[in-house]
Amino acid sequence: MEVLALVPHQYGHAPGQRSSIELWESVLAPAGIRIHYAPFETKRLHEVLYLPGHYATKAGEMLRAYFDRLKLLKELDRFDAVFVYREAALLGPAWLEKTIARRGKPIIYQLDDPLYVPYTSPSNGYLSYLKFFGKVSEICRLAKVVVVNSTQIREYVSQFNKNIWQVPSLVDTEKYVFRPEQLEKYPNDVCIGWSGSPTTIGNISVVAGALRKLSVQVKYHTHLIGGTDFNLPGVNYTAQNWSAETEVEDLRRMQVGMVPLPVNEWNKRKFYMKTAQYMALGIPPVATPLGSNPEVIEQGVTGFLADSEEEWVRYLKLLIQDRDLRLSMSRRAAETAQEKYSLAGNTRKIIEAFRATVN
């Protein structure tokens, strides 16, 4: 089975792609399902897309990318199916997907973010509305198979398509390896950590008050990944930029991982990959109960769900002070991640979802 994969980003550069189709490829290939990648981004567009401004360069590279997509449509007969990750083009309506469907090629559509919820990009402002948020429902109708990663997204898709396969965003457990010996590396110096990106740095404000209160009650330190300035007066912390090359070792500095989230329509529907990554490394998470977090975290067993400042203080303090609980929760979290959020735990579903497009 030859599958053309229309993906938005350059190979190896986007977390969503890395934790889905790029990871799935290692089990699809032995099953006779070969993936042929066609990223929408040019290398230059990848460099400037999420930077403020550069609108002329972005526009020129978008046009170049669209032209490449048009040329690719002439080669559809080489493939048995077309995999669309999120959208065939970063901007515009679903005309590419409609053209593929008219040509009789079955579409496997992967939707791993609530792209049907309108949002404004921090780097591109209201130009985000050129993404045509309403096209998501159209692509769902056109697809032979839809792969989703959360219950909330599944509920949305079920309005338009009944052939839905739910596969969570996966942790590469060959890289995210649980090492119990590291749990005792700093037994008297517990590190509470957070990892994100420049676009999610603002989320840390959800726990700013809790961290300040905690700092006068217990001894701990905080390490934050994803930027260098978090504007946290009254909180002693260290910070660094995120790096794909060092991410796993950087996360290993933490004994407790935070997933604080502001309440909005996007966050209510999203799968939080960071929660699963923490758990795979044996880092008990404390998270806002939004999106996938209430399903991923078993309260008091693999982590905690904190819905108020008082709960954030209570659960973080408990994990700092109760070594036995922290170690027990660490092991249970790693076991759960291996069982539910690893490639091995989802191989059968992934292969069957692809084969369902030609059956």
What pLDDT digit, counting tens, does each position of 225-272 carry? 999 888 898 898 999 999 888 999 999 999 999 999 999 999 999 999
153 lies in the same domain as 198:
no
Alpha-carbon distance of 54 to 60, in angstroms, equals 10
Residue 2's SS3 state is strand
Residue 318: inside a domain: yes
193 lies in the same domain as 127:
no
CATH number, domain of 26, equals: 3.40.50.2000
163 lies in the same domain as 210:
no
> CA-based angle 348:349:351, to the nearest 5?
70
Residue 135: inside a domain: yes
Residue 48: inside a domain: yes
204 lies in the same domain as 309:
yes
Alpha-carbon distance of 111 to 96, in angstroms, equals 16
251 lies in the same domain as 268:
yes
Q: Give the global pTM.
A: 0.88
Give residues with Cβ within 8 angstroms of 107, minimum separation 6: 81, 82, 83, 84, 97, 100, 101, 139, 142, 143, 144, 145, 357
Given a contact cutoff of 8 angstroms between Cβ atoms, the answer to whether 81 and 3 are in contact is yes
What pLDDT digit, counting tens, does each position of 164-205 carry? 999 999 999 999 999 987 766 655 689 999 999 888 999 999
Residue 335: inside a domain: yes
Number of domains making up the chain: 2
Of 224 and 131, which is predicted with more confidence?
A: 224
192 lies in the same domain as 270:
yes
67 lies in the same domain as 213:
no
Q: What is the pLDDT of residue 129?
A: 42
Pull the structure tokens for residue 186: 């700093």
Closest residue by Cα to residue 145 from 103, 111, 106, 108: 108
54 lies in the same domain as 156:
yes
184 lies in the same domain as 150:
no
Alpha-carbon distance of 128 to 257, in angstroms, equals 31
Number of Cβ within 10 Å of residue 291's Cβ equals 24
Residue 66: inside a domain: yes
Q: Which residue has the tokens 């998501």?
A: 136
How many residues in total does the chain contain?
A: 359
Residue 220 has pLDDT above 70, yes or no: yes
121 lies in the same domain as 252:
no
Given a contact cutoff of 8 angstroms between Cβ atoms, the answer to whether 266 and 321 are in contact is no
Highest-confidence segment of 12-26, 62-76, 114-128, 321-335 = 321-335
Domain holding 225, by residue range, is 180-340
Residue 26: inside a domain: yes
Residue 349 has pLDDT above 70, yes or no: yes
Closest residue by Cα to residue 73 from 117, 104, 49, 42: 104
Closest residue by Cα to residue 149 from 356, 304, 295: 295
Residue 323's SS3 state is helix
Residue 147 has pLDDT above 90, yes or no: yes
* Residue percentage of the chain with pLDDT more than 70: 89
208 lies in the same domain as 290:
yes
Residue 97 has pLDDT above 80, yes or no: yes
200 lies in the same domain as 128:
no
Closest residue by Cα to residue 207 from 273, 265, 285: 285
Average pLDDT over every residue of 24-38: 96
Residue 81 has pLDDT above 60, yes or no: yes
Sheet with 2-7: list strands edge to edge.
Answer: 34-39, 2-7, 81-85, 107-111, 145-148, 164-166
Average pLDDT over every residue of 139-164: 97
Helix (H) or strand (E) holding 200: none
Residue 175: inside a domain: no
What pLDDT digit, counting tens, does each position of 277-334 carry? 999 999 999 999 999 999 999 999 999 999 999 999 999 999 999 999 999 999 999 9
Residue 19 has pLDDT above 50, yes or no: yes
